Amino acid sequence: MSQDYTNKLHAGSTFPSQTVTLKTGKEIVLGEPRTGFDWQLIVVYRGKHCPLCTKYLNQLQNYMERLAKIGVDVLAISGDNKEQLVTHASQLNTEFDIAYGMTLEQMKELGLYISDPRSDQETDHPFSEPGLFVVNEQGKIQVIDISNNPFVRPELEALVNGLTWIKDPDNNYPIRGMHR
């Protein structure tokens, strides 16, 4: 495979089954929402070294009530190790689950862009660039957004408004972007 090609997941496809570990040590499967929810929003972030990720995760907390109201569970994950996540937690004002230890293989399976650190001061491992996946009640990818840098991510107000509209059964809104 050449360097100018990456595998990307397609809207409407089944979200890959990946087991991840929460800060608490509990293992869960990505794309399987907690009891009481039928969809899951998965936010892949770069890691504790990224101030834009910290800001985004903290802003996401402001939408938790609205997302819960429409049945959307929230989980964030990075390739950081447990110690890095614990350190990062002091900068986060979040109540949603955060997982750590995403492997390069898992990042590649999700079609994420992967970067090497610029220096040891940044971080000590390759990390994924931002990705966002919304998995519906059938385990299918309803919404997908993948970026190759920290400056481009879905605007949260627009995302939550859109998910609210999509989940309203009166709108009968299909998964978009399925044409291959």
pLDDT (tens, 9 = 90+) of the chain, 180 residues, equals 455 656 788 899 999 999 999 989 999 999 999 989 999 999 999 988 899 999 999 999 999 999 999 999 999 999 999 999 999 999 999 999 999 999 999 999 999 988 887 877 767 788 888 999 999 999 999 999 998 888 999 999 999 999 999 999 999 888 888 776
C-alpha closest to that of 18 among 92, 98, 102? 102
For the entire predicted model, the pTM comes to 0.92
Please check whether residue 2 lies inside any domain of the structure. no
Is 5 within a domain? no
Residue range of the domain that includes 20: 13-166
Cα separation of 6 and 171, whole Å?
34
Contact present, 78 and 97 (Cβ < 8 Å)? no
Element (H, E) at 152: none
> b or e along 58-93 (b: 16 or more beta carbons within 10 Å of the residue's beta carbon)?
eebeebeeebeebebbbbbbbbbbeebbeebeeebe
Q: What CATH number should be reported for the domain holding residue 44?
A: 3.40.30.10
Structural domain contains residue 175 = no
Specify if 79 maps to a domain: yes
Q: Using the CB atoms, write b or e for 110-122: b if 16+ within 10 Å.
A: bbbeebeeeeeee
Q: Per the domain annotation, does 65 fall within a domain? A: yes
Q: Left (φ > 0), alpha (ψ -120 to 50) or beta: where does 172 sit? A: left
178 located within any domain: no
Q: Residue 68: CB partners within 8 Å, gap ≥ 6?
A: 37
- Domains of the chain: total: 1
Whether the Cβ atoms of residue 131 and residue 102 lie closer than 8 Å to each other: no
**Residue 8 located in a structural domain:** no
**Number of Cβ within a 10 Å radius of residue 146:** 19
Residue 171 lies in a domain: no
What is the rounded distance in angstroms from the CA atom of residue 51 to the CA atom of residue 9? 27
Element (H, E) at 72: strand 72-77
Closest CA to 94 of 51, 133, 64, 66: 64
